[in-house]
Amino acid sequence: MRTIAGLTCLVLCTLCAAAFPGGSAQVADLKPEQCLGGAPDAPIRLEIFSDFECPACRQLYLESVRPVLKEYCSLDKVCVVYMEFPLQGHKYSRQAARYAKAAQKLGKKEYQVVVDAIFQNQEIWVKDGSVDDVVFKALGSNSYVNLKKLLLDPSIDAAINAEQAEGEKREVKSTPTLFIYALAKEQKVEGPLPYFVLKDFFDRIVK
């Protein structure tokens, strides 16, 4: 009986150790401008499939991503990548995504400013679609004029469509959905993740 019990334990422990549910992952190459913060070769990558009109995405950005940008991305320990995933029921989220994508083409600073302003003022523009006003106030006139020109570029919509297709390929069902790559492993997380959880996880890898 003891032998059977011992063998059972051994088999179960081996099974657990050999087959952890989190998969190993190869991360796709990134261009520096794709990162909202941090360098593409940072040891940790945080890819977020997000919708600008979704309240949980706003919560994730304001409560978790903002401090990550400040504490980890500024030191190139983490690269944050926003993947646009505008949901069908949200009237203005695609419009907001277009502004963010255009700002990404302007430069990292402008991209950060626009993403921050869109999430920060979500409650305002979500009522009437006044994303334009929010972006204008955040960017200032010079950058705003350049951004308006970029909005005419068809590659903006193509980029959003490509990211949406990528999300569907990776079975993103809701926003926000995070893919965290570290130590050649991937973790998928659906829903907001508090900063202290991310901090605990990051500190074990990069501190």
Q: Judged by CB under 8 A, does residue 187 bind another protein?
A: yes
* Rounded least distance, CB 59 to another protein, Å: 12
Q: Is 196 in the site for another protein (CB under 8 A)?
A: yes
Site size for another protein, by CB under 8 A?
30
R_g over Cα of the chain: 20
- What is the closest distance, in whole angstroms, from the C-beta atom of residue 146 to another protein in the complex? 38
Of 132 and 190, which has the nearer Cβ to another protein? 190
Q: Give the number of C-alpha atoms closer than 13 A to the C-alpha of residue 23, restricted to the C-beta side.
A: 5
Least separation in angstroms between residue 156's CB and another protein is 31
Contact 34, 81 (CB under 8 A): yes
Query: Where does this chain touch another protein (CB under 8 A) — which range of 28-36, 115-123, 150-158, 191-199?
Result: 191-199
* SS3 state at 75: helix
- Beta strands (DSSP E) in the chain are 35-37, 44-50, 78-84, 177-182, 185-190
Q: Distance from CA of residue 65 to its chain's centroid?
A: 8
Q: Give the per-residue contact string, 4-43, with another protein (x = CB under 8 A; - = no).
A: -x--xx--xx--xx--xxxxx-------------------
